[in-house]
Chain A
Amino acid sequence: MATVTRLYRQQIFRPSYILSRHLAEDTEFRVLNLKTTRSQPVQRKKLKKPDVLPPRSYQMPVDQDWGSVWPGPRSFHPATVPLPIRQGYVDKGAPPGKYGNAELMKIPNFLHLTPPVIKRQCEALKRFCTPWPRGLETDSKCEDHFPVEVASSNYCYSSPSIRDPMARIVTVKVKLSRIPLDEHAKDKFLRLVGDRYNESTDMLTIVTDRCPLRKQNYDYAMYLLTALFHESWRVEAWEKLKSEADMEYYDWKVSASKKSIETLFGKEHTDITHADTYSQTVDALMNEGESEYSVTKYGEAVRQMLQLPQ
């Protein structure tokens, strides 16, 4: 059995005469070694590790300007932060150090917002600021000058889009006492707004969200406010047909009680002494319902007006 076989290069590669002749001239026959006897061990190239500089924090002076070392928000880097920070939980022993600690890279840090840096940034922003307008020092003064309060929200997300459907909603708030209304107009206004009026704070709140854009919702809210105001001042022809039976509350000034008093005394109710007390007690009796208190008050008022002994 031949252990060593000689092969001609021409047979292995290309059957080209020129190439074979050329190769045959300057190279030796290759030897196919079937036995695993290595003539010389192959020198493996040793992997050279790249040179790594020591951490930057070792060379940092104590009085360095930290704002220029860490100018913006960034993940934690142990070689840049010269603090002996540890993070993590170990049952027994110290928490893991800052090198090779992924937990420190996860948590948001505020190393770019140190107090001197904030101060410096505020100083830089100061020249773009304007003084607060005079005469608007307190909230009550602001309310006096700007009675209508318009509120809408912007939403910040960690997503590529800055749009949010909730940003379209516009809330308009105004105090009812700041709207010039008479008794009839106020009554009609309250009927039109319904539960949008808060009686305890005297605040009317209009929320508009039916349009897709904030501008459109704002315009619609302003339109609603204008329409409400003018509609409440308008007196329709059918509103005069309202009789005592249609009243939603007892009004002494249009009642039969007032007429009978005036015929009894033979003069206007404004001229009758103690008529205002009487009218108030009758109003209270009819609107709030009969109770021992209101009935007693009513009796006292009647006796006072008719000058009867108490």
Chain B
Amino acid sequence: MSLLAIKNAVQIFAFRNSQVQRCIHTTAICHKVQSGRYRVTPKKDFPLTYEMANPPHRIAHRKSWNSWNTSNLQGGPRPSETAIEDLFIRKFVTGTWHSLFVSEIIIKRQHNIIRIAGIIRQTLYPRKMYFLIGYTEELLSFWLQCPVKLELQTVTDKRDVIFKYI
């Protein structure tokens, strides 16, 4: 029993030590560029939108950015705040319009106005949609202390935005 405990302790110590010491990774797996890319499925039935179909290195060539602001330019003010706010907006809108957005949420900033654009499905009744638009705009403009506008486009079917199947 005591031997086992010692063995465990040694293992834990070795694990912690390895975490401290292994700063340089030389394994090939780390070189693999995976983010924003999708694997081809055996049945070739995985739907991709235009945004998903183009990997990140196609940005500014075949597709454009989802966040438009001047904070990420050289010497732009408050880049970290803008990034955090964009993340918060995305999370809030995704949760409020649950399973309704069929595209990425596009956030465009002009001076102090924040424009949130996107494509939603037509499963909502117009009354509910108007309520959600007002709710989102009101709450986000209260939290972010600047005018927020929601500019949405609707599609009949969620397959309308599918670009290809892989």
Interface residues of chain A, those whose CB is within 8 Å of chain B, are 47, 49-50, 52, 73-75, 77-79, 88-89, 96, 99-103, 105-108, 156-161, 164
Contacts and interface: CB of A to CB of B under 8 A. Distances in A.
A246 to B, nearest CB: 48
A95 B151 CA distance: 23
7 contacts: A50-B126, A77-B151, A100-B102, A100-B161, A103-B50, A105-B119, A158-B68
A157 B70 CA distance: 6
Nearest to B160: A100
Interface of B: 49-51, 54, 61-66, 68-71, 76-78, 82, 102-104, 106, 108-112, 115, 117-119, 122-126, 144-146, 151, 153-156, 160-161, 163
Contacts of B123: 47, 49-50
Most buried by A among B77, B144, B151: B77
A102 B103 contact: yes
Given A78-B153, A101-B50, A102-B51, A159 B78 contact: yes
A101 B62 CA distance: 13
A287 B50 CA distance: 74
Contacts of A79: 153
Given A75-B151, A106-B68, A108-B68, A49 B106 contact: no
A99 B155 contact: yes
B122 A106 contact: no
A10 B72 CA distance: 68
B82 A52 contact: no
Given A89-B62, A103-B50, A161 B124 contact: no
A103 B64 contact: yes
Nearest to B157: A100
B115 A75 contact: yes
Contacts of A106: 64-66, 68, 106, 108, 117
